[in-house]
Amino acid sequence: MSANTLSLTLQIWRQEGPNTTGAFETHNVSGIPDDASFLEMLDVLNENLIEAGKIPIEFPHDCREGICGTCGVMINGRAHGQEKGTAVCQLHMRKFNDGDTIAIEPWRATAFPVIKDLVVDRSALDHIVASGGFVSAPTGTAADANDTPIPKEVADSAMDAAACIGCGACVAACPNSAGQLFTSAKLWHLNSLPQGQPERFRRTEAMVDTMESFFGSCTNHGECSEACPKEISLDFIAYMNRDYVKSKVFNRKLASQK
Amino acid sequence: MATPTISTRPSSPTPRPKKKELPYPLNIYQTAVGKKWVMAVTGIGLLGFVFAHMLGNLKIFIGEVEEDGVLVQDIDVYAEFLREIGEPLFPHGSVLWLMRLGLIAMFALHIHAAYTLNKLNNSSNVRYQQKTDWLASNFASRTMRYTGPIMLAYIIWHLADLTWGFTDALYSNDGAAGPATGEWHHGDVYANLHGSLGNPISAIIYIVANMALALHIFHGAWSMFQSLGINNPRYNAARRYFAAGFAGLIFVGNVSIVIATMADWV
């Protein structure tokens, strides 16, 4: 057991449902060990609320090891809190000081409506992937591994993009609530590989169009990449812009055959 | 076998209604990524204009030159040259007007794209209570939506001040070079400039506007590479240096003209 414990004042967004108005609620918690994670701190608060006969706070969480992309809240105005390259579940209370006041909000975007309290509906991200984030290969059984030679650098680049866990922090951190970092990561992990080439432009157009029907547009602030728990690079956004306009300009004939 | 039903949750976000797609190439401009592309391309054109405009104005430092045996200000000669571009193939002033039309078109597209994208972004964003803790953005990138309109207002004022002479009542004769109040003369660039900058309020407007311009360029000249998809990890750092260098060059070049004119060095 850690010797240090923290007492905190929490300002938490409470909202009944998607169609009601929410407000901040202040709670005090004490005796939080500093090696607890941020979500475990919320667990302690919820235990207290249940014992007091109140309704616990809904917050998104699943694997708690930073790989599933379910968790995510705004902490003091930063997506996933102040720790770089870290999801909320991997943010530990030792990063905070005793007596701190912490403001906790749900992801910010009109495309992310609040379901309850801190839980938002991220199905807009699913719609983007569903519109083209796949490779259709109706060619029989699975090919042998390494059948298609891929240079190491290309595989690395695709893997960097595929590291996206789809948590939505990029959208929440963006002052325009743009989905560019998410969409470009999903595009590049297929568009950079040989298997992704046949559908490259169709995919780019479909996914960007879906993205734009939900989210804002990019103003190149770079906030998304800073907030990203997987530190996805802004470079992918440039590749997406390049492919999209290329598709509109040079690939009209192919695109119209879809 | 029962078909699985997909339940729609009451919270599901509704996509924006799709507009009817216009024929190519107008359909590019219908999308946000395409609009950013147009903003970047027109931005490059406007950067070119700002640079050429500064180069032309720096001719004030050359001072007097002899033309046909008479001493004239070199900047006045340059101003007349702009109208003579393309002669004798094109009529007097026609090529200048073609360039002006291109410039107006670039401004119009740049502003329209900015306005519509801003509207889209405002409708996409939701604010709770906590202020955003900025990590990567800078003052220049966050104030693009303010420096833009400041530039527009300044351009209108700048045209009224020196191109049309509407504000020559504010002209002030501070030294030997300046004309009297209300003395704007078409084509007399050197005297008009001294008349305008003889008034300190006018000089402050020019300096503040150039600060806004430098901020706008500092973000815009970097951002345009991303919007156009010009990205190569080997040269990415150079994009930042280019934007900072261009913004600094324009600011120093333009403000040096204001200061030198006020101090009667030229």
What would the DSSP string read from start to end of A71-140? ---EETTEET-SSTT--GGG-BGGGS-TT-EEEEEPPP-TTS-EEETTEE--HHHHHHHHTT-S----SS
Q: Once rounded to an integer, what is the mean pLDDT over residues B154-177?
A: 84
Cβ <8 Å between A223 and B134? yes
ipTM of the complex: 0.89
Q: Write down the pLDDT at residue B19.
A: 85
Establish if B7 touches chain A: CB-CB under 8 angstroms: no
pLDDT interval class at B167 (50, 70, 90): confident
**E strand or H helix at B83:** helix B74-84
Chain B residues whose CB is inside 8 A of the A227 CB are 135
- Which residues partner with B67 through β-bridges? B70
Cβ <8 Å between B123 and A110? yes
**How many Cβ contacts (< 8 angstroms) between chains A and B?**
181
Q: Once rounded to an integer, what is the mean pLDDT over residues B155-169?
A: 91
Q: Write down the pLDDT at residue A258.
A: 45
Q: Once rounded to an integer, what is the mean pLDDT over residues A31-49?
A: 95
**E strand or H helix at A6:** strand A5-14
pLDDT tens string B227-259: 999 999 899 999 999 999 999 999 999 999 999
Chain A residues whose CB is inside 8 A of the B230 CB are 238, 242
CA dist A82 and A38 (Å) reads 12
Kindly report the nearest CA distance between residue A30 and chain B, in angstroms.
23
CA dist A257 and A89 (Å) reads 45
pLDDT interval class at A62 (50, 70, 90): very high
Cβ <8 Å between B141 and A219? yes
Q: Once rounded to an integer, what is the mean pLDDT over residues B14-25?
A: 86
Half-sphere exposure (Cβ direction) of B102: Cα atoms closer than 13 Å: 14
A222: left (phi over 0), alpha (psi -120 to 50) or beta: left
Q: What are phi and psi of A110, to 5 degrees?
A: -70, -25
Q: Taking all residues of chain B, what is their mean pLDDT, rounded to a whole number? A: 90
Cβ <8 Å between A121 and B134? no
Nearest by CB to residue A238, choosing from B12, B219, B226, is B226
CA dist B205 and B219 (Å) reads 22
Establish if B120 touches chain A: CB-CB under 8 angstroms: yes
My answer on whether omega of the bond before B25 falls inside 30° of 0, hence cis, is: yes
Domains of chain A: 5-115 (3.10.20.30), 122-256 (1.10.1060.10)
Neighbour count for residue A155 (Cβ, 10 Å): 12
Cβ <8 Å between B229 and A238? yes
Quick check: B177 pLDDT over 90?
no
Q: Quick one: closest CA in A to B223, which residue?
A: A220
Interface test with A, best of B20, B41, B132, B145 (most A CBs within 10 A): B132
Kindly report the nearest CA distance between residue B92 and chain A, in angstroms.
38
Taking a C-beta distance cutoff of 8 angstroms, is the pair B223, A219 a contact? Answer: yes
Q: Is the four-CA dihedral A85, A68, A70, A65 of positive or negative sign?
A: negative
Kindly report the nearest CA distance between residue B263 and chain A, in angstroms.
40
Least confident of B131-135, B161-165, B216-220, B239-243: B131-135
Q: Write down the pLDDT at residue A18.
A: 87
Q: Write down the pLDDT at residue B176.
A: 56
Q: What are phi and psi of A166, to 5 degrees?
A: 65, 35
**Over the range B195-216, which residues count as b (16 or more CB within 10 Å of their CB) and which as e?**
bbbbbeebbebbeebbebbbbb
Establish if B231 touches chain A: CB-CB under 8 angstroms: yes
Q: Write down the pLDDT at residue B140.
A: 94
Q: Write down the pLDDT at residue B22.
A: 87
* Two tokens, residue A201: 């432009």
pLDDT tens string B56-104: 999 999 989 988 889 999 999 999 999 999 989 999 999 999 999 999 9
Least confident of A38-47, B49-58, B181-190: B181-190
Q: Write down the pLDDT at residue B198.
A: 86
Cβ <8 Å between A178 and B134? no
The percent of residues above 70 in pLDDT, for chain B, comes to 93
CA dist A147 and A201 (Å) reads 24
Q: Quick one: closest CA in B to A235, which residue?
A: B231
**E strand or H helix at A144:** none
Q: Once rounded to an integer, what is the mean pLDDT over residues A227-241?
A: 96
Cβ <8 Å between B130 and A239? no
Read off the DSSP letter of residue B232. -
For B145, counting Cβ atoms within 10 Å of its Cβ (0-12 exposed, 13-18 middle, 19+ buried), the class is: middle
Nearest by CB to residue B12, choosing from A78, A121, A235, is A121
First to last CA, chain B: 90
Name the more confident of A105 and A2. Answer: A105
Nearest by CB to residue B24, choosing from A178, A218, A252, is A252
Cβ <8 Å between B10 and A176? no
CA dist A44 and A39 (Å) reads 9
Name the more confident of B100 and A2. Answer: B100
pLDDT interval class at B214 (50, 70, 90): very high
CA dist B101 and B109 (Å) reads 12
Cβ <8 Å between B132 and A77? yes
Side chain identity at residue B205, one-letter code: I
Cβ <8 Å between B132 and A210? no
Name the more confident of B257 and A1. Answer: B257
pLDDT tens string A92-151: 999 999 999 999 999 999 999 999 999 999 999 999 999 999 988 676 777 788 888 999
Q: Write down the pLDDT at residue B57.
A: 95
Side chain identity at residue B103, one-letter code: L
CA dist A156 and A235 (Å) reads 14
Cβ <8 Å between B34 and A24? no
CA angle, residues B56, B173, B169, in degrees to nearest 5 = 85
Q: Once rounded to an integer, what is the mean pLDDT over residues A41-63?
A: 96
Chain A residues whose CB is inside 8 A of the B216 CB are none
Q: Once rounded to an integer, what is the mean pLDDT over residues B162-168?
A: 89
Chain A residues whose CB is inside 8 A of the B34 CB are 244-245, 248
CA angle, residues B234, B236, B237, in degrees to nearest 5 = 100
Taking a C-beta distance cutoff of 8 angstroms, is the pair A224, B132 a contact? Answer: no
Name the more confident of A79 and A1. Answer: A79
Establish if B13 touches chain A: CB-CB under 8 angstroms: yes
CA angle, residues A68, A74, A77, in degrees to nearest 5 = 145
pLDDT interval class at B1 (50, 70, 90): very low
Kindly report the nearest CA distance between residue A3 and chain B, in angstroms.
31
Taking a C-beta distance cutoff of 8 angstroms, is the pair A18, A121 a contact? Answer: yes
Half-sphere exposure (Cβ direction) of A194: Cα atoms closer than 13 Å: 7
